[in-house]
Structure 1
């Protein structure tokens, strides 16, 4: 951040560098998958209202990340990618795999930048804002693989949660597309299944006061989820956006 400020602060007598490029506040560590990335997906650069730098972890597909964690062998390439982004000078580093919540502590310890492993980091904060009798619901790619360990690693306790629904519990098209890394899909079918998953979540758990989407592929459909649930919907886009904005405060006008 200091170097980025220096190159824009024309009043400074000395400009200091140290990086090959500047003005990119966000770095994203990406899983290796050919799945289409719609606007709103974390892997689509148009999602972000600020510049972003991507690093792909070769061989780390969705199925492997969901089913092979915890694995130090799998973690190390993610640490290396995060460190590369850190050296490049970004202020915030996110990942495209919500299940990496399991390694929030290890990933954060490896870099100086803020590290957002998963949208699930928002659950404790969101839970603290809800009125009495309301709790957080989670929509995830595969509920059976999102363990108490994943949740505890980002500060989520059972008392915060109403429940969760995974895409394996509905028709199965979405689950197949992402876990089997299909290179094409029908967005309307994905949206319909997410709407069904939301109805299932709300019918099972009427005390849901807000939804946090674990999967980074869900944000393009967050508006549809909200239309069904009629509650606030959080995802990695909401988490990253307010975190980056906290690093880029600007003066207000004279009023």
Structure 2
């Protein structure tokens, strides 16, 4: 057997572009390395704050994200993702800039999930900020027109703590915000068959949402677990 080189790091096939944030990343959050059953590579994009990316369309940050993605590929990543669903805005540009697959947003799952649901059912999106989730974000992620959208905006903790980049997070209140938002989305859409969590910080509450709604819940964790399985298939 001949082993081939060319990378600095081996065995960590997924490279994650991280926002420059300080809020707590609890287990289940994609920015907590304990979340993943496989090794990942992280690269922080400096000055890319949650507010800038979610509320200000990551204005002026495309070049920094491209540079960080290229660094991850040079280090050994076989595929690139991000830790904010709003970065679907950069899907095309990042895919053109690096020679590996790119999956910027969990919202890219919506069309795929729709295909596996029972007849008459469709997936909806739960987002941290419906007021700033634009048609361009959805179009870049190939989200079908008319997809129902719910949000944690107006809750007591989750949106304000994450987008405010707070040093503390009341996990119980954040969980309640996510469950209440999911239930409201379900109540408003009787044809809802599944939920896609736009925000990567929602992943710790996926099981709570599923239990409360009885619906399948898909997140960046489900998406990147699938992504990684293709980048680095297990041997049996």
What TM-score do you get using the length of structure 1 for normalisation? 0.89
- In structure 1, distance between residues paired with 2:72 and 2:9: 11
SS at match of 1:158: coil
Q: In the alignment, is residue 47 of structure 1 matched against residue 35 of structure 2? A: yes
SS at match of 2:201: coil
- In structure 2, distance between residues paired with 1:166 and 1:76: 29
Cross-structure match for 1:167? 152
- In structure 2, distance between residues paired with 1:175 and 1:20: 38
- In structure 2, distance between residues paired with 1:158 and 1:57: 31
1:228 counterpart (179, 191, 212): 212
- In structure 2, distance between residues paired with 1:249 and 1:168: 39
SS at match of 1:63: helix
Deviations 1:72-119 (A, max 9, x none): x21111111111101112112110111011121111111112111100
Q: In the alignment, is residue 32 of structure 1 matched against residue 20 of structure 2? A: yes
**Deviation at residue 70 of structure 1 after TM alignment:** 6.1
Cross-structure match for 1:4? none
- In structure 2, distance between residues paired with 1:250 and 1:147: 38
SS at match of 2:194: strand
Q: In the alignment, is residue 116 of structure 1 matched against residue 124 of structure 2? A: no
Cross-structure match for 1:200? 184
Contact 2:12 2:40 in 1 (8 A): yes
SS at match of 1:122: helix
- Unaligned regions of 5+ residues in structure 1, if any? 1-10
- In structure 2, distance between residues paired with 1:250 and 1:139: 32
- In structure 1, distance between residues paired with 2:233 and 2:153: 41
- In structure 1, distance between residues paired with 2:181 and 2:145: 21
- In structure 1, distance between residues paired with 2:118 and 2:38: 33
Deviations 1:167-226 (A, max 9, x none): 114x23211101110011111111011111011111111111010000000111100010
2:125 counterpart (138, 147, 170): 138
- In structure 2, distance between residues paired with 1:196 and 1:27: 32
- In structure 2, distance between residues paired with 1:232 and 1:25: 27
- Unaligned regions of 5+ residues in structure 2, if any? none
Cross-structure match for 2:225? 241
Give the paired residue count: 236
Cross-structure match for 1:92? 79
> Which is higher, the Rg of structure 1 or of structure 2?
1
- Tell me how large the CA RMSD over aligned residues is: 1.2
Cross-structure match for 1:147? 134
Deviations 1:217-253 (A, max 9, x none): 011110001011111100000000011012222343x
Cross-structure match for 1:250? 234
- In structure 2, distance between residues paired with 1:198 and 1:19: 42
- In structure 2, distance between residues paired with 1:179 and 1:243: 27
Moved over 6 A (4+): none
